Amino acid sequence: MSIVGLKHIFNATQYSMAGLIVLLREQAARLEVGMFLGSLVVLMLLGGRFSDYLVVVLIFCVTLSVEATNTAIESLVDHLSPEKSDFARDTKDLGSTSVFFLLVANGLFLSAVFARFMGWVSW
């Protein structure tokens, strides 16, 4: 790998970490991190399999990615449309909906793990 390629990777990592700092200023993102940690505790208590942990980590990564996109959209909308408008409300609501569905997915997955733990399903 060339020096230019390594520099690009280094710079991109710095930009990503700066974005993560901005994201973690958002209460929703901090709550999602807490829910993720709680999910790991639940998996430990239920004797989760490696694949269970992997799925929870993947859902968490996608959730934070979508939360970052939602936060960027909200910031952009606030800048472009500081007054109340249907456009601003609908745009923000759609971003929120995308995060909501990922949280539902995580809840459904943990419910399925719990059902397996209780012996209600066998997979």
Task: Give the separation between CA 113 and CA 49, rounded to whole angstroms.
Answer: 9
pLDDT at 22 (0 to 100) = 97
Q: What is the DSSP letter of 24?
A: T
pLDDT at 52 (0 to 100) = 98
26 given a catalytic annotation: no
Say what percent of the chain tops pLDDT 90. Answer: 91
pLDDT of 2 over the 90 cut: no
Q: Can you tell me the mean pLDDT for 80-103? A: 94
Q: Per the residue annotation, which of 26, 67, 74, 83 is the catalytic one?
A: 67
Say what percent of the chain tops pLDDT 70. Answer: 100
pLDDT at 33 (0 to 100) = 98
What architecture does CATH give domain 27-118? Orthogonal Bundle (1.10)
Q: Do 103 and 71 touch, CB atoms closer than 8 A? A: no
pLDDT of 1 over the 90 cut: no
